[in-house]
Amino acid sequence: MNKVLVSLVALVVASAPVGMALAQPVASLETSRIVIAPPKSDLARTIKSGLSAAYYGARPDTAVQKEAQRLYFLYGERHFEPIWLSENAQGGVVFSPAAAKIVTLFEQAAAEGLDPADYLTPSISRDKLTGDSIALATLETAFSAATMRYANHIHNGRLDPLAVSPLLDIKAKPIDEAALLAELAASDDPAAVLGKLEPTHPEFLALKAALATFEQSSAERPAPISDGAVLRPGNSDARVPAIRARLKLAASTSQLYDDLTVSAVEAFQEGQGLEVDGIIGPATVAALNGGAATRREDIIANMERWRWMPSDLGDFNVFVNIPEFRLWIDRNGQPEYTTRVVVGTTKNQTPVFSDNIRHLVVNPYWNVPSSIIRGEIAPAVLRNPGYTDSHNMDLLYNGTPVSPWQVDWSQVSSSNFPFRVRQRPGAGNALGQIKFLFPNKHDVYLHDTPSKGLFSRSYRAFSHGCVRVEDPMAFAGALMANEPSISRASLEGMFGPSEKWVNPQTQIPVHLAYFTLRVDADGTIRAYGDVYGHNEAVIRALGLSTDAEPAIVAEVETAPAELSP
């Protein structure tokens, strides 16, 4: 038994999460001496026995077993004494005042975009405060588990992002559970303690406020306009009457997309910052479905994704919203610079994660990813050995450039292509004149591009996964605003044939985010297309009802064929 408990404690210490203001430093947790204190009362001994049974009865490497491990450790530090149960004047057992207030939080969880059933489980209810000591011990530990579950949900969201998509590469923010439980148990206001774990970003708070008033305004809420084929002037479509109503035009049952409706759509597009072309594609449909037409499911799904974001985005940071095809530099929560971007296609999606910009590279080489080599370059070279020369590329074998004319291509195929490929700096380089690096396992970054025409489109998902910046030198100048020795002028002075690396003194947080709803300062909700289908995937994973068919937003028009990241 002692050997098992030692291994259990070691496992818990190795995986013990470290929180925000409540947390100890990581090093102190790793080097602290961990003591499992012996129980001193009958109820404490029952709690210890119940936790041991829960641990040994759970299947290894499951969420149930991990929860039992955490609870054993948390209660072991306090002699397995109860946190939530206390005796009243008549000698009966009751919930502590803090526990009663937390039960109220569980009952009101829907206001947070959460599910009360996740916390008010069959093991937890006010009528369970009777019975033998085993039943009370079960209630005690079940309540701690539910409280930690609630804390993690308001801090990190209900879902594991990676379970929704491997491209939602987001790490959970740790919580010091022992410190949190102790603070909650001693607090006169546990709601305030838990509230510190919630996101504080103004857009999250605005979405939460919109959720609170959603049912009150449901009678005035128009039905969302459904996705469908791209609608051009002169076409007919069953959605046209609803579009007219949304734009407050005279009611008509005609399905003809006529000149009057086209003019109203163009005015709407201009007001939304969309391409003013009168064509109703995914971006325009999404914009029409913002504001009063926003679905409850969309609000909750976007709140969930805000919980995935770091608690502190950084006083000076870069924020890319993929569905919006736009980038910002924010200083102290206020936008200081913004520009359009091109993101990955639905086949080559831009991943969602946070990192730090560490390097700027002027006149960059483009080290072509192996997926593009296999899928595009190798077949092209096999057809025409002059392909690499015509595209200003080097063919590398073991790191050394080789001439494609010296290769016996009859011995090479796409499946056994033994070469790496890089594109030399120059006007036609796929990365343009500058790239902004935040080294990551996805090998994506921000960069310039020679393909400027795509920035004028409303739908801008055309890259192989990297983020192309419309005006990279203006962005570079704004990005280096805090660097005394780096400026736009100094970077432009480096233009030439040789790659040059620039290392800012301070790393800059960069967030590749995915929000289909954004909230303006005046509270207006703007909607954007679910370009990769992540929003509908989150809605399904949360078990929210929706009448909308889950779909990835389709590309309005195909982009010109090009080779670029």
Please list the active-site residues: 447, 466
The whole-angstrom distance between residue 169's C-alpha and the CA centroid of its chain comes to: 8
DSSP structure class, residue 73: H
DSSP structure class, residue 293: G
Largest CA distance in the chain: 95
**Going by DSSP bridges, is the β-strand pair 446-447/353-357 parallel, antiparallel, or unpaired?**
unpaired
The answer to whether 302 and 517 have CB atoms below 8 angstroms apart is: yes
Residue showing tokens 């809420």: 221
Q: How many CA atoms lie within 13 A of 184 on its CB side?
A: 27
Separation between Cα atoms, residue 230 and residue 253, nearest integer Å = 20
**DSSP-based three-state secondary structure for 397:** strand
Separation between Cα atoms, residue 340 and residue 325, nearest integer Å = 6
> Using CA atoms in the order 352, 357, 361, 367, what is the torsion angle rounded to 10 degrees?
-30
Q: 288: which 2 tokens?
A: 């029409």
Sheet holding 400-402, edge to edge: 366-367, 420-423, 393-397, 400-402
The answer to whether 474 and 446 have CB atoms below 8 angstroms apart is: no
What contacts 269, CB < 8 A, 6 or more positions away? 275, 276, 277, 278, 284, 287, 458
Give Cα separations from 63 to 59, 69, 169, 396 (angstroms). Answer: 9, 10, 20, 47
> Using CA atoms in the order 472, 478, 484, 490, what is the torsion angle rounded to 10 degrees?
30
